[in-house]
Amino acid sequence: MRASVNRPPTPDVGDTQEKQPTLEEIINIKFIESGEKERLMELLRERLIECGWKDEMKALCRAFVKKKGRNNVTVDDLVHLITPKGRASIPDSIKAELLQRIRTFLVSAAL
Amino acid sequence: MSVPNEDKMASHAQLSSHFFGDLLDSIIVDVASECHRIARLGLDRNLEEEEEELKLSAQARERVADPNNSGEANSKYVVDIFGQTHPPIASDIFECMNCHRPIMAGRFAPHLEKCMGKGRKARLKGTRSSTAAQNRHSRGSPVSTYPPYPNSTSTNQLSNGTSGVAGEEYSNGTFPES
């Protein structure tokens, strides 16, 4: 009998029961539940606005929109436009500050 | 015990970077979404209007440089640097807070004078009962004098002895000449 649909084999019951959440997932949950992720997001947002990073990204977007025509732009376009430049142009001090706080959190979460 | 600690620190560093990347990605998506919204809703007024603005500013420059329009020539309607003209008398209309009538802004000061100030009619507004007496007073004593009776709070019209009645009428402050 030919398989009419390409699909991966159904996982055995044994498999799913033994799967542990990864360390990353555990930390992520703690991160969110404690509210630290929210706080750090707000902190990062504020810092990026202060240093003009957000304005630079918005300028990039506007230039792109002007070139392409405002009704032909998708969110995906803009995300792909901003991501490489955005990640590269983060000021070191801000990155260091956030990394420090995240590390502190990891330590305090007793990992 | 140092080796496990180093491992721990290395994995901490890696995890931190990973989480930082997560936060950054979320913020990037937010910014992109905001810009997309502005673009699609046309909220960014400067987008196509830069060329228009350039044209308008060139026109304005011509107008200013033109020797015919030297400001005084358009006597009644002076053109300001934005190319706007203002009528010599302000023409906005609003409601007077005293008499609740619609008044033109340029005529508001004279209106107020009549409405609550020095005009003869203003004084008559609250004193219908003793109108005749007030008329006599206002004509007879244009100069501010001390009232002979100590119990009157306002002055001019009270020199003839009707101070009791007149004082009460004006003690609420609508009569500014004191």
CB contact under 8 A, A73 and B28: no
Q: Would residue A8 count as lying in a domain? A: no
Higher-confidence position of A23 and B174 = A23
Q: Which of A62, A74, A103 sits opposite B44 (nearest CB)?
A: A62
Question: Of the spans A50-59, A102-111, B144-153, which averages the highest pLDDT?
Answer: A50-59
Looking at the predicted structure, is the pLDDT value of residue A27 above 60?
Answer: yes
pLDDT tens-digit series, residues B41-86:
988 877 666 667 778 888 888 877 776 655 554 555 677 788 888 7
pLDDT bin (cut points 50, 70, 90) of residue A41 is very high
**Whole-model pTM above 0.90?**
no
Cα–Cα nearest to A106, from A21, A33, A31: A31
User: Predicted ipTM?
Assistant: 0.81
Q: Which of A58, A75, A102 sits opposite B20 (nearest CB)?
A: A102
CB A83 within 8 A of CB B28: yes
What is the spatial distance between Cα B178 and Cα B173, in angstroms, rounded to a whole number?
10
3-state SS, residue B104: strand
Tokens of B100: 């609740």
Residue that is written with structure tokens 């003209």 in the block:
B85
CB contact under 8 A, A44 and B23: yes
What residue numbers bound the domain in which A52 lies? 35-108
What is the model's pLDDT at position B156? Answer: 47
Between A80-89, B15-24, B79-88, the lowest mean confidence (pLDDT) is in B79-88
Nearest CA in chain A to B49: A66
Q: Would residue A12 count as lying in a domain? A: no
Q: How many domains does chain A have?
A: 1
Chain CA centroid to CA B31, Å? 36
Q: Would residue A28 count as lying in a domain? A: no
Q: Which of B13, B21, B31 sits opposite A57 (nearest CB)?
A: B31
Nearest CA in chain B to A31: B19
Q: Domain ranges for chain B, please list them.
A: 8-65, 75-117
Q: State chain A's mean pLDDT as an integer.
A: 87
